[in-house]
Chain A
């Protein structure tokens, strides 16, 4: 039945491309989460009056984050080609896409983390300090749990952006649904392949959004 509507779709290829897209998105989301979180916490704690107050570090981190956040992703990929070649040994395939995906998304997430941390009631931080908490305890037991809903909804937005980035990376050969839609679909004039790849990408996005919303609601006790 489906063959009639979508004559050119090779379901095995489609499935393999889907897995590649999921792989790239998952890996990139994971590293973006870790790196973005660290950057966000550094940005927060080096602000004036905070535990690591340090205007130089704060300024440098902020500048770094802002610069990388502002470079269009497609240009970032090209700029990073030598770096990727050096790090991964190739510039093709899902793993080769990861450095650009992470470097593109982590600064974006770092900003979201900073916003989430700034939302925390200052009184709660003061209470923790008045109990004799170390900065490490404050990070683990106050900053992270108290901002968790915002951190989760932030990483959801970021993961969805990353799905889009993987598709863009696909155009220059990262693999996944982007490559399939571009090389197999667009360049060979097979509209049904492009359409199917698009639908699969939409499904992935909706699933990520659903999981993110579900978790956010579950953990928010405010």
Chain B
């Protein structure tokens, strides 16, 4: 569906040539939610802007549905952009237009007649859950609502690809989740291909099927989200994975937990998709005469299973604790004994 071949973008700056995107080749399947993660300045925005021709590559090509985006210009490019739409970190709504008029904007560009515009806009307002707010101005909406308008606007011309540039980075965690849920439901209902860039691993974990990790303009690692979480290869990928699987400030936390729970054994369990935590815990408690105390948890559910960590305190006779731990290890749960009593 989307085919990037040796894509390179260089900028001429005061300090010489800057390679923002460096020889990137990858393909994205139809209907896929494809994530691109990287730190600030990695070249993510540049890459996504190459996808809809907002930037022209220095070398290489971008092909979407057999159309060479990197080679077309003028009217052809403008028409192609109607099928590759985009949402933004700061929403970029027209403040002078109401919600409905904002959503009608791309339809006006596409030359859709007035009455059809209105019907379509109302339909989309319904779809993104903003019914009743159609005549509000952006200044009267919350961040999450603004992004819903952005999404509705992006969907107006029935695009095949939706590009999301840090679409949730300006939102609080709860609103982020609701916007991500909306993206998933759009992806499932409309079969839309979504390319999403972010610097937050939990966004990738929550909705992406595959992920590419970018560093200094290059894609350094690419694969199934599940695989990447289970066995990250590159140091940068490991750091991103740690963002979500480890509790914040791990060392500090462990020390404090140890002080707070001096008895028994502290065990950290890492769940990386597929298996759910309940059967494991249920079995642990049923079959082992140890006291299980959940001290800290950070688990979230995704289409790939449960991800996250759980810190347990196991109390009881030493031998029972050891057998409980070996049970956990055999269940393919990442198990780490943080401390012994």
Contact = CB atoms under 8 A, between A and B. Distances in A.
Interface of A: 121, 123-124, 126-134, 137, 141-142, 145-146, 148, 219, 221-222
A140 to B, nearest CB: 10
A132 B81 contact: yes
B281 to A, nearest CB: 47
Contacts of B80: 132
A173 B328 CA distance: 100
A129 B54 CA distance: 8
B137 A123 contact: no
Interface in B156-177: 157
A130 B109 contact: no
10 contacts: A126-B54, A128-B105, A129-B54, A131-B85, A131-B109, A132-B77, A132-B110, A133-B78, A141-B108, A222-B95
B78 A127 contact: no
A124 B93 contact: yes
B82 interface: yes
Given A123-B91, A131-B81, 9 more contacts: A126-B92, A127-B86, A128-B105, A130-B52, A131-B82, A131-B106, A132-B78, A141-B105, A221-B95
A133 B54 CA distance: 12
Contact of A137 (B93, B95, B109, B139): B109
Contacts of B106: 131-132
B26 interface: no
Interface residues of B, number: 28
Contacts of A137: 108-109
A166 B52 CA distance: 52
Contacts of A128: 105, 109
Contacts of A127: 86, 88, 92-93
A131 to B, nearest CB: 4
B44 to A, nearest CB: 15
Contacts of B77: 132
Contacts of B105: 128, 131, 141
B97 interface: yes
Contact of B95 (A130, A134, A141, A146): A146
Given A123-B90, A124-B92, A221-B137, A132 B54 contact: no
Nearest to B139: A222
Nearest to B137: A221
Contacts of A219: 96
Contacts of B91: 123
A146 B81 contact: no
Nearest to A137: B109
A130 B137 contact: no
A145 B88 contact: no
B117 to A, nearest CB: 13
A146 B96 contact: yes
A133 B109 contact: yes
Most buried by A among B52, B82, B85, B109: B109
Contact of A145 (B52, B85, B97): B97
B192 to A, nearest CB: 16
Interface in B99-119: 105-106, 108-110
Contact of A134 (B78, B86, B137): B78
B90 A130 contact: no
A128 B82 CA distance: 11
A132 B94 CA distance: 16
B213 to A, nearest CB: 25
A130 B92 CA distance: 11
Contacts of A142: 94
A120 to B, nearest CB: 10
Contacts of B96: 145-146, 148, 219, 221
B67 to A, nearest CB: 13
A139 to B, nearest CB: 13
A129 B82 CA distance: 10
Most buried by A among B54, B85, B105: B105
Most buried by B among A127, A141, A145: A127
A123 B88 contact: yes
A83 B104 CA distance: 48
A146 B79 CA distance: 24
Contacts of A148: 96
Contacts of B109: 128, 131-133, 137
A133 B110 CA distance: 8
In the A-B complex, list the 10 residue pairs whose CB atoms are closest, starting with the nearest. A132-B78, A132-B81, A127-B92, A123-B92, A145-B96, A221-B137, A131-B106, A130-B86, A132-B82, A133-B109
A145 B86 CA distance: 22
A142 B97 CA distance: 10
B139 to A, nearest CB: 5
A151 to B, nearest CB: 12
B270 to A, nearest CB: 39
B43 to A, nearest CB: 17
A121 to B, nearest CB: 7
Contacts of B88: 123, 126-127
B46 to A, nearest CB: 13
Contacts of A124: 92-94
Contacts of A132: 77-82, 106, 109-110
